[in-house]
Amino acid sequence: MARKCIIAGNWKMNLDPDQGFELIEGIKAGFKPKANLEVVVIPPMPLVALAAHWVTDSTLSLGAQTSSSFRDGAHTGDTSPELLRILGCRYALSGHSERRGDHHESDAQVAAQAKAQVEAGLKTIVCCGESLQEREAGVHINKIKNQIGIIYDTLPPEYWGEVSIAYEPIWAIGTGKTASPVQAQEIHKMIRDHIESKAGAQVARSTAILYGGSVKGSNAKELLGQPDIDGALVGGASLKADDFSQIIQAYEVS
Ligand code: 13P
């Protein structure tokens, strides 16, 4: 069976409630649900509870940009994955490079976060990817393998089906510089092979591996057409309904 395609819009720390509402209305207006396609909106944390109402009566899914690695308790300022699920989230990101960079999240912390998310009933989208320096130094493959491998070492096997991966080369995020479809496919294939070595062929075959980094309407079709690219994690182009809808439609015609 074909893998599911996930197109997720990570709004990062952008948009106010009015803008968020308008964006979701715009996406819904142009969206024709398609078998095997899941569209996810990932607003900033303070908008999650509102957005849960905005996506009601639509087939859009809701996600969160991060969450605590604890379920609840004395963790001031953190967000419980359990609470996110209760509010209506189906997904949460873990280990976005901006979290790893700004908040020094280690591979082990990201894995703990992903574990808490799936234990709370969320699906986790684990982000990985290298900087330009790491690519140029030739250490990117090992870096990505470590980022992914620890997830399967940390999560019990019954949760492996709740994991998707997003390959987001840091040099392509917000820069307008996209990995070429060939470059992206090469890394996605390597990630799938690594998942196979950690978790077996069935898990590797069924895990969605998304690409992120300057995805837009004009390059989405070619990226999504690669055999191991199963969706997109979109930043800048997810902030306008027209731009995001073009990416969604790129899947529909591929
Ligand atoms: P851009 O699409 O703005 O490059 O951002 C990618 C990203 O970081 C999505 O999580």
Position 252 scores a pLDDT of 62
Residue 28: CATH number of its domain: 3.20.20.70
The pLDDT assigned to 176 comes to 86
- pLDDT tens digits, 165-220: 999 999 999 998 888 999 999 999 999 999 999 999 999 999 999 999 999 999 99
Q: What are the tens digits of pLDDT across the range 220-248?
A: 999 999 999 999 999 999 999 999 999 99
pLDDT at 16 over 50: yes
The fraction of the chain above a pLDDT of 90, given in percent, is 92
Domain count for the chain? 1
Q: What is the mean pLDDT of the chain?
A: 96
The Å distance, Cα 37 to ligand 1 centre, comes to: 20
Q: Tokens 């995805």 belong to which residue?
A: 215
Q: Is the CB of 125 under 6 A from ligand 1?
A: no
Element (H, E) at 38: strand 37-42
pLDDT tens string 18-57: 999 999 999 999 898 888 999 999 999 999 999 999 999 8
Active site residue 96: yes
Q: Which residue has the tokens 């969206």?
A: 31
Domain containing residue 143 = 5-250
Quote the CA–CA distance of 205 and 66 in Å, as a whole number.
26
pLDDT at residue number 88: 97
Nearest atom in ligand 1 to 237's CA: 2
Q: Report the b/e string of 32-62 with b at 16+ CB within 10 A.
A: eeeeebbbbbbbbeebbbebbebbeeeebbb
Question: 96, 140, 188, 194: which one is catalytic?
Answer: 96
CA-to-CA distance for 113 and 171, rounded, in angstroms? 24
**Residue 1: its pLDDT value, please?**
60
Q: How confident is the model at residue 254, as a pLDDT? A: 46
160 labeled binding residue: no
